[in-house]
Amino acid sequence: MNAGQTSTPQQGAISQGPVAKGPWIDIDLGALCDNYAMLAGAAPGVPLAPAVKCEAYGLGAGPVARTLCNRAGAREFFVVYPEEGAALRAALNDADSVIYCFGGPAEETLPIFDTAKLTPVLNSLDQAALWAARKPGAEAALHLDTGMNRLGAPVSSLADIAAVNGLNITLVMSHLACASEPDHPKNREQRARFMEAAQNFSGARLSLAASGGALMGKEYHFDLIRPGIALYGGSPFAQDDARIKPVAALRAPILQIRHLAPGETVGYDAAFTAERPTRIATVAIGYGDGYPRAGAGRGEAIIHNERARIVGKVSMDFVTLDVTDLKKPAEPGDIAEFFGPSLRLFEAAAAAGRTAYDFLTGLGGRAHRRYL
């Protein structure tokens, strides 16, 4: 080739990258603390008790809780199962933090509550009776069902629960069913039911708000807020919320670049057909890593600060992107960001037919978590 000439890739040619490396999640602990501070500012004077259930929404309960405890001052946390609580207690290495277990106690889990110093969230008369009989006077929270009809003690049982000998309820809580829509009338209905029902347990602290309630106004704040998704970079509402900083970034490397002629197809079932000469980037991420299959044809990734659309089906280990129009050509080893600072979680999840909640918690264990 003479000096100054450039080569045109042959159709079907492959640019091969380095040895395959899988996807990872960068987790910005500073942004996590910023979101904690933002929520605290929305409810001045009201303590925050982060929900770190389901491995802190997929981001790692130990590192997240340690950061919120040591840097943000959190002293109360919520998980679901006592096994989660025991692991969290070990990760915190702090005997004074309060760890609540949403699922409550069972006969076989009582020893875990003892050894890990866990506080149950009671959801029924049976659980209240069990706890009071085995640990009379020990602190417990009580979950009231005010209209979610999912978990919690029905209002009709509260008088019987309040009469249980030896029961010490120090926190009464409920959960808003429609906090994603702040103007939904059910929010006010549940608040009224909650205030009335909580009178059965005078002296106990009250908690109704999670992330959505924290940002809905002081009438929902009460004595304790249990933030979850907003800590981790997701909006609790039906639309995005710019006050919430991105915390997690899902990234993966490009493994190969392929050059397609018009009429060639990509992936299973030949779901995408090139209508022009097309550059395709194969990226080391798939539904086995938690990227939703529904993102095919709709989801995007950021490469060199530009957007590239997913084409072809999302397979277990790979995603293919149309990188034809990128100003700076994509090459093997370049990084694709599927959500993060350059592509907000809310938008990425919606394009993949998900919410921020199930997108984050669905990220597979194969994706390495890296804490920044």
In this structure, what is the dihedral angle of CA atoms 144, 148, 150, 156, given to the nearest 10 degrees? 40
* Residue from 21, 81, 245, 268 carrying the catalytic annotation: 268
Q: How far apart are CA 178 and CA 318, in angstroms?
A: 36
Q: How far is CA 126 from the centre of its chain?
A: 31
Helix (H, G, I), strand (E, B) or coil at 339: strand
Helix (H) or strand (E) holding 52: none
Neighbours of 126 (CB within 10 A): 14
Long-range contacts of 209-214 (CB under 8 A, 24+ apart): 209/43, 209/176, 209/179, 210/51, 210/175, 210/176, 210/179, 210/236, 211/39, 211/179, 211/236, 212/176, 212/179, 212/180, 212/182, 212/236, 212/237, 213/176, 213/179, 214/39, 214/42, 214/43, 214/48
Which one of 53, 135, 245, 313 is the catalytic residue? 53
Stated as kind and residue range, the H or E segment containing 308 is strand 306-310
Alpha carbons 349 and 233: distance in angstroms, whole number: 12
CB distance 362 to 286 below 8 Å = no
Instruction: Check if the beta carbon of residue 367 is closer than 8 Å to that of residue 250.
Output: yes
- The reply to whether 316 sits in an annotated binding site is yes
β-pair type (119-122, 139-145): parallel
* Tokens found for residue 208: 């109704």
* b/e sequence 15-42, b meaning 16+ C-beta within 10 Å: bebeeeebbbbbbbbebbbbbbebbbeb
Q: Is 135 a catalytic residue?
A: no
Let me know if 218 is a catalytic residue.
Answer: no
3-state class (DSSP) for residue 279: strand
Other CB atoms within 10 A of residue 107 CB: 8
Taking the C-alpha atoms of residue 356 and residue 335, their distance in angstroms, rounded to an integer, is: 22
Binding residues for substrate: 150, 316
Catalytic site positions: 53, 268
Binding residues: 150, 316
